[in-house]
Chain A
Amino acid sequence: MATLTRSGDRTIEEKEALLGYALIAPALLLIGAVILYPVLYNVYLSFTVVPLSPDQSPEWIGLGHYYSLFESSQFWSALRTTIVFTFFSTTLATLGGLGTALLFNRSFRGRRYLRGMVLLPYVAPLISVAFVWRFMLDPLYGIFPYIGSDLLGLYSGNIDLLSNGDTAIWTVILIDAWRYFPFAFLMLIARVQAIPGDMYEAAKIDGASKFAQFKDITLPELKYILATVFLLRWIWNFNKFADIWLLTRRVDTLPIYAYKVAFANYQHGQAAAISMVLFLALIVFVLAYVAWALDW
């Protein structure tokens, strides 16, 4: 290769490496400055009391915020809410996506257009989606309370499903699953369509039922993509802030708890500690999940 070197004293490999560094440098600098530095700074802030005035420097208090966090019942309840919200919204969105992918796995007229339409909840802006749900659930004029309580008598119409402490989390879980099942659908449909039709033909000839075909062919073939979709949705739902915040103020997950502590109570150090715990809890889950899913 060295004979191919045209100019100067550098070999082609060296020049490629230099170009490689030059091309990645802007991205690395930006990510370093605006992600890694803040993350490390956040670690530092979580050990300090941050004064309101930006001229004063933070006061070091060691593990103080973590101690008070672990003693506060609000924190433990927020952690529980986060896990409940994440588990159910992730599971529902993944199952919804799987069901839709199987439904769209046969050819029918207009399949391409309908596939595009199914993606709409995921593509439409969050703000629009949040507000149409708030309107549809409005206890006075909303269409859902009308159908649910006046027509079907499922519950008493005075309950505001989004603001009531008992129902808010389940309502938010359902809306979240509605918004994100298209993501799972899209990730799964390509894999579903790639399963060779021969396998089903052979199973049919052996007399396997639809359910047996699903259990013995479809599920094993989709195992890894299902595991991946579940993991990604878990990571994003665990950190979810805006979707919940724009729908209701009655579901306090850890991100929302941190936001309130930081920007309603102005306790930035305490909020930094909450977000650290959130991050560590997520890392522990992801490592455990990956270890489990790999030899699943």
Chain B
Amino acid sequence: MSTKQSTHRYVVDSFKTALGVGENTLETSLAERVVFYVALGLTLLVTLFPFYYMALASLLPESSLYTLPPTLLPQDLTLEHYRIVFGPETFPFLTYFKNSFVIATTTAGASVLVATFGAYSFSRLDYRGRGIISRGVLMVYMFSGILLVVPMFQVIVWLGFVDSLASLFITYLVQTLPVSLYMLGNYFRSIPEEIEEAAIMDGYSRLEVIWKITLPLSAPAIVAVFFFTFMIAWNEYLFASIFLQSQGVYTLPIGIEALASSFRQVWGQIMAASLLTSIPLIVMFTYLEKFMVEGLTFGAVEG
């Protein structure tokens, strides 16, 4: 860029600063702004409408759920569907919720723990075979659940773990490990090595360095990995659908699916259960959004 152009830009910029106007307000025409806001509005409509509809349907009384034209702006709302979801008569929603919560929390905790040490190992320490290990982690991305489901079924039957949450814990832990290792490994590499070297010069051992320096610095990544592994376990359907047989151990995806296939016209309750199932993820995401977005850029999470 020539000096003349950058001088020109400097002058414009200082005017903008002086007048307190942003770049876009100064340079975009009204037509462009209209197009922009219409496009933004449409994007949000397409993205959010299903969630609005889920919430709405969970609150509509039966009489307005099954009418034409469908209700978009509610006249009267009811908590009846939520009462049924929490009551014991139709299906044990709270049991499903508890099972999902236990399995997702333990999976995520164990995955983060194992992956923290593993990722530190191949991103920082030097040994033979390290390159193969860190590339191998990426290869596992291509092993789908469907490739593992037949042999895993055989193994789980052989171990006698069918119909237990233990079968899911093992499966989910290992399925989330590659993602966790990959994300944490990428994050650890982004921490300047000099910080750790300085600590070692000061007499810290490697383990002390990991514990006192690397882990605190990696808190955002660890939080993100916990969330994503929690999300994977919370959503898992394939293995749960073949390992779990009795209602007492069902997780939410299996439980809600069973409700939908055994009763007709229970959309109100399904929508209430769906919304309640979304809440843990949405709450976690809202509080941790900054870390999540950062975390995703360190490793793509399967979905």
Contacts and interface: CB of A to CB of B under 8 A. Distances in A.
Interface of A: 13, 15-17, 19-24, 26-28, 30-31, 33-35, 37-39, 41-42, 45, 50, 54, 99-100, 103, 106-108, 114-129, 131-136, 138, 140-143, 146, 150, 178-180, 182-183, 186-187, 190, 198, 201-202, 205, 228-229, 232, 235-236, 238-239, 241-242, 245-246, 254-255, 258-259, 262-263, 268, 271-272, 275-276, 278-279, 282-283, 286
Nearest to B144: A239
Contact of A117 (B47, B66, B177, B237): B47
B20 interface: no
A232 B296 CA distance: 13
Main secondary structure on chain A at its contact with chain B? helix
B171 A121 contact: no
A262 B118 contact: no
24 contacts: A13-B126, A15-B206, A26-B118, A28-B133, A35-B140, A42-B147, A99-B43, A103-B40, A114-B44, A119-B289, A123-B281, A124-B51, A124-B281, A127-B274, A141-B267, A178-B47, A179-B303, A187-B297, A187-B300, A235-B141, A241-B145, A242-B235, A255-B146, A258-B149
B174 A268 contact: no
A180 B274 contact: no
Interface of B: 1, 5, 9, 22-24, 36, 39-40, 43-44, 46-48, 50-51, 53-54, 57, 65-70, 72, 114-115, 117-118, 120-122, 125-128, 130, 133, 140-155, 157-158, 170-171, 173-174, 177-178, 181, 206-207, 231, 234-238, 242, 252-253, 256-257, 260, 267, 270-271, 274-275, 277-278, 281-282, 285-286, 289, 292-293, 296-297, 300, 302-303
Nearest to B122: A24
Contact of B148 (A38, A129, A138): A38
Contacts, number: 281
